[in-house]
Amino acid sequence: MAYDGSEQGGPELIGGRYRLGERLGQGGMGVVRRATDELLGRQVAVKTLALDSGADPADALREARVVAQVRHPHVIVVHDVVEHEGRPALVMELVDGGSLADRLAAGQVFSPRETARLGLDLLDALTAAHARAVLHRDVKPANVLLEKDSGRAVLTDFGIASLPGATTLSRTGAFIGTPEYTAPERMRGGDAGPASDLWSLGAVLCAAATGTSPFRRDSIGAVLHAIVYEEIRPSAAMGPLVPVVRGLLERDPERRLGAAEARRMLAACAAGEAPTAVAPVPTVRDGAPPAVPGGTLPDTASGGPRGGRRGPRALPFVTAAVAVCAAAATVAVLLAMQDEPPAGTAAGAAGTAGAGSTATSAPPSTPAPGRTPVSGTDAASREVTDERGFSLLVPAGAIRTTDGERVIYTSPDGAVRVGVRIRPVPPGGAIGVMRASDEDGPRSNPGYRGATVEETTRRGLPAARWEFTWDGFTRAEGARHTFDIAWEEGETLYDVWVSAPVGRLDEARSRFGATVESFRPTGG
């Protein structure tokens, strides 16, 4: 807010030359204000430590030293360090135009070409930092400034960056960073390198093109689950950017897209061309082809060898689950540090469960004792009673996630999904819903084909059945097939579906029949 002139003597002068003005922003440790450098007659930005932030004054000096190591047009410049209220204050260049977070909050999204240009600026900034062995560790929209006149992007806030030879910033019991833009290896407490910043860049590109992080959920636990486990399915709105984003959001840092390849692909997008991706390298786990439990994405359209990096490493779900449990201990600290409040996610089309689903930290369902084999397969099942008011058979060991009105149970190998949606009967009834979903199929399911929609009945009730094939979540897994049925029971529409790779079509068909037959409303 602008200075109101209420203090005697006018706006405060610090360092003998910087006249403080309006507040431009506030982070976890300090406040940034516009100021006038009265000696040189220029506008600057001054970052002062908030008295109640608990930040160590040495952190400000540390940030200044980090930024001083990296001189680049897309990295914020620190002009001076002065004392303010007994604490150091950073005097920086003023980038007039606000942050990327401000633009997104105002409802602005960027075209794929604009996003690619933004990505090139940030990638250049990170490359310059990494060349000095500096890791930013908090790349997010709030730390990306966009100059109003030139459109130049500037990476700022190196307050938690790591600097070689310097003491690492840490706080007892706290995770340092912003969860929904943090790489999975950091979530797991592993070593972080330049690849961790590139993951964050991928998440920022998604936010710029779609308006939100791909990992935004309604709780911190759900954010952590999404980052380390859930499918990553970039929005089709990203167009030619999808391959580079998938490469940057590869969970295994050894397989993640490197800076040079990312630059080539972003440059192609910025020029209005479709980037060509390097061939993916399949992950081999225990000598067998991978079944992807969401830990890695072997099919990243731009995966493959990255400048002589070592071969891929698997990320079993057990590791991810342990990480989520360990990270849950930091929830209170994460909430206090997160300066971009999470928002709810939109529900997708019926029959698909993608990265937009919101995970529950503990499945609110009650498994019945024992495991029941599904007829015609070796796959075991268990019966669950879900808090949404139904019971049914799901794959043994299935993980429960939610996406708006939808509840999804995913098999431990990530391949088979059982979904349920319960809502009031809409106009047009069950058949209307299925016909609308079929019409929307090419948009919501890439490679949508072989679809059939037919009216039917379930136990004498009006129903509709929808069946289709589509390209699937990952190239390694391949095409998927979905069986879906919706029926009207009084004023309620029940929708149950099963989706699986086409190579497991018989299992999917058998499981669909058993799941629908086992479904019972519980009135909960």
Range 440-445 contact pairs with CB under 8 angstroms and sequence separation of 24 or more: 440/349, 441/349, 441/468, 441/470, 443/236, 444/348, 444/349, 444/352, 445/349, 445/351, 445/352, 445/470, 445/471
Catalytic residue of the set 138, 157, 403, 484: 138
Question: What string of DSSP letters covers 116-139?
Answer: HHHHHHHHHHHHHHHHTT-B----
Torsion over CA: 192, 197, 198, 200 (sign): positive
**What distances in angstroms separate CA 423 from CA 280, 429, 468, 516, one per listed residue?**
41, 11, 23, 17
Non-local (6+) Cβ contacts of 190 within 8 A are none
206, 235 contact by CB (below 8 A)? yes
One-letter amino acid identity for 476?
A: A
Q: Is 471 a catalytic residue?
A: no
Non-local (6+) Cβ contacts of 350 within 8 A are 406, 419, 421, 433, 437, 466, 484, 486, 495, 497
Lookup: tokens for 289? 């082809």
Distance CA 438, CA 427 (A): 16
Provide φ and ψ at 70, rounded to 5°.
-120, 110
Closest CA to 495 of 371, 399, 408, 381: 408
Secondary structure percentages of the chain, helix, strand, coil, to 5 = 30, 25, 45
Segment holding 221, helix H or strand E: helix 220-228
**DSSP letter assigned to residue 182:** S
**What distances in angstroms separate CA 103 from CA 33, 124, 238, 426, one per listed residue?**
19, 22, 18, 36
Distance CA 68, CA 70 (A): 5
**What distances in angstroms separate CA 464 from CA 145, 253, 325, one per listed residue?**
51, 44, 41
Q: Which residue has the tokens 């399911």?
A: 445
One-letter amino acid identity for 499?
A: S
- Catalytic residues, by residue number, are 138
